[in-house]
Amino acid sequence: MRVLVVEDDVTMAETIRDGLALQCFTVDLRHDGAAGLSAASGDAYDVIVLDIMLPRIDGREVCRQLRERNVRTPILMLSATSPEDVTGDVLALGADDFLGKPFSFPVLVARLRALSQE
C-alpha cells in the first residue's frame, strides 16, 4: 500500500513512516500543506494521512482543495485537537476518517487498511 503522510512534526512523521514500513507500506513524507497538496495532486496514493495543523496551508484547506480537484484518494485526518471539535468539520470537507493524537499505532494501521480496502 502506498501512503502519503503530511505531518509537520518531523519526528512523528518519521515514526509513522518507520512503523508503516514494518507493515510493508510504502510511505512518502511531506512536512507542510503546500508540499502535501502538490504530492497528493500528482501521485497515486492508496491513502493520505493528513495532519490538520500544518504550515503554509492547513490540513482542512488541503483536504478541501483535493476534493475540489476530484482527488478521491481516502484521507485520514490527524489532530491533537479534541475529536468533538473537529470530526464533523473534517468529514464535511471530504475527509474519510479522523484520528486524534496521541493514537494507537495498531488502530492507525487498521484504519488505513480499511480505507484502502486492502
Which of the four pLDDT bands, split at 50, 70 and 90, describes residue 80? confident
Q: CA 1, 88, 112: angle at the middle one, nearest 5?
A: 10
Q: What is the pLDDT of residues 45-63, one digit of tens each?
A: 999 999 999 999 999 999 9
Interstrand relation of 97-100 and 75-79 (parallel, antiparallel or unpaired): parallel
C-alpha span between 103 and 39 (Å, rounded): 25
C-alpha span between 103 and 118 (Å, rounded): 21
Global confidence as pTM: 0.93
